[in-house]
Amino acid sequence: MDKHDILERARDYIAKESDPAFKSEVEALIEADDMKELEDRFYRDLEFGTGGLRGVIGGGYNRMNSYVVRRATQGMCDYLKANVTGKSLSACVAYDSRHYSDVFSLDTALIFAANGIKAYLFTSLRPTPELSYAIRRLGADTGVVVTASHNPPAYNGYKAYWNDGSQVTEPHDAGIIDRVNAVRLIKSMPKDEAIAKGLLVMIDKDIDDAYVAMVKSKLFRPDLIKAMAKDVKVVYTPLHGTGAMPFERVMGELGLTVVTVPEQREPDGDFPTVSYPNPEEAAALKMALELGAEVKADVVMATDPDADRLGIAVPDGSGAYTLISGNQLGALHADYILLSLKELGRMPKRPGLIKSVVTTELQSRIAKAYGAECFDCLTGFKWIADTMRGFERDGVDFVYATEESYGYLVEDEVRDKDGISAAAMTAEMTMYWRSKGKSLLQRLDELFAEHGFHEERGVNKYFQGPTGMDVMRGIMDAYRENQPATLGGIAVERIRDIKTGKSWRIASPGAASSVDLPASDVIQWYLSDGTLVTVRPSGTEPKIKYYVLARTEVGAGGLDAARKASSAKVDAILADIKKVIG
């Protein structure tokens, strides 16, 4: 795209943008003749993908701003009105603590209202799982939460939901994208007019109360909690996001002592005490861990800005804390929930668990040990929700779902990951194992001893700028043209290419079988020792992601020997991967 085209698109944007701050940003760039920055903002439109929007906040078609949000919402309205007929339509809208989240959420609600779709808007910031819950409770036809999850402060985003409280999946995702791309006229109306006409309804307490009651109802042992809660101390950080209100309320009503990191309690879109507000990152929990050590906490917990992810750390017996990975906490949850259902005589007829294809195989082994089934799906909780719909059709009883990126779901009233209910279940689980004289780490070691030591690690590579997507496509194309015979010195036995829908053994490439998953740009290599290696470009960020899931039997040398063997194996595999991505 040459300079003339870039400037033409910039001036076109200025004419359409209603927010003066975003307009002036682009006007200043034109005045300064900053073509490098203008090109980045206008070489493409910020893509409304299968999960919605996510990008850097600012003026331009390749940025998150009022025009881009309003256009996306108009496209959703057009799709909804064309495909859901014979009833009055409604939508739920929520937002997190990021910059412009309140502005973008009101923009969204007023577009819905102007299109005759009643908009239920939270009066202040709320977690993403509560938005999913509200859609189902209010019987809404769609929903939006304005959030960029755990991305850096410069980002914001827009997640689109369907009437079952899950993020949109096919065919609605592609249909909405087509409508967004076809938008020519955007309708809106003033807030006062929307309220007066009953097209904008502000919500908060009724949904809050029902959501909190639902979270508490999912726990198994209220008597145990009542007996032990006063002796259990939780240190918590919402990382400047939405989690403090619901987390403190749920834990407080359970009788637990919660000490919230004071410097990180208040919502703040700058996330001033962390470089990256992601509970997957050890650095994000630094202040919580320091406070945990000071007050001798039994468990340290953190939620991300929209409180759909949960990270935890537990005492290791030496005065220090050990971070529990997403895969490990998911395995502990699965074990505890199935154990509880069995002990309490509440095991359903056909218990089903769900995990993504890049999540630990330890969960599958735990499920099998309890007589339950574990179902794989594509990465992303919208695919977990899609599998839950399949459960309803096929008579499978939902028990639990997880993905390795610190997402967990213990209830079916929500159809997205839920850091608040996961935290409540983690607190009860901690008390249960303490009542048995064990820590969470000790129980995890017992699971390893029974099912093999599982080590999961990954590596990400970012590719920013106009050529980033092309570089990632080139890497995936190169793999498909020349599949690796070994990784880390271990032979590749089988390959599964989810994009092409084929799976085959290296020894018999002509005898390929079909993959029972929707097409997605994912390649998986099954190694001769049982290790699984997966590569996929991210669907929300300009990066390519690799996952290594290794398993080592625990033999005569015990857990320590299995740990060392797994670590060496993963190191060698990652070294081969880095030769490809640099």
**Which residues does the annotation mark as catalytic?**
149
383-418 b/e (C-beta count within 10 Å ≥ 16 → b): bbbbbbeebeeeebbbbbbbbbbbbbbbbbbbbbbb
Rounded to 5 degrees, φ, ψ at 458 are -150, 175
| Crossing angle of helices 205-217 and 128-138, rounded to 10° | 100
C-alpha–C-alpha distance, residues 533 and 527, integer Å: 8
Burial class (CB in 10 A: 0-12, 13-18, 19+), 36: exposed
535, 545 Cβ separation under 8 angstroms: yes
Buried b (16+ CB within 10 A) or exposed e, 249-267: bbbeebebbbbbbeebbeb
Q: Give just the sign of the alpha carbon dihedral 166, 101, 21, 111.
A: positive
Query: Could you tell me which residues come within 8 angstroms of residue 171 by beta carbon, excluding any fewer than 6 positions away?
Result: none
- Ranges of H-type helices in 254-325: 286-295
SS3 content of the chain, % helix, strand, coil (to 5): 45, 25, 35
Q: Is 62 helix (H, G, I), strand (E, B) or coil?
A: coil
| 56 beta partners | 155
Q: Are strands 490-497 and 523-527 parallel, antiparallel or unpaired?
A: antiparallel
User: What whole-number distance in Å separates Cα of residue 481 and Cα of residue 377?
Assistant: 26
What the block records as the tokens of 136 is 């189902």
Closest to 321 (Cα-Cα) out of 353, 298, 352, 346: 298
What does 134-191 look like in DSSP terms, one character per residue?
Answer: HHHHHT-SEEEEE--TTS-TTEEEEEEEETTSSBP-TTHHHHHHHHHHT--------H
Amino acid letter, 128: T
Site of tokens 């005490």? 273
CA distance 61 to 41: 6
Residue 233 CA, chain-centre distance (Å), reads 27
What Å distances lie between residue 377 and 333, 387, 402, 407, 514, CA to CA? 19, 7, 11, 14, 15
CB 104 within 8 Å of CB 72: no
**Exposed, middle or buried: residue 557 (CB in 10 Å: 0-12, 13-18, 19+)?**
exposed
Q: Which of 434, 362, 436, 425 is nearest to 399 (CA)?
A: 425
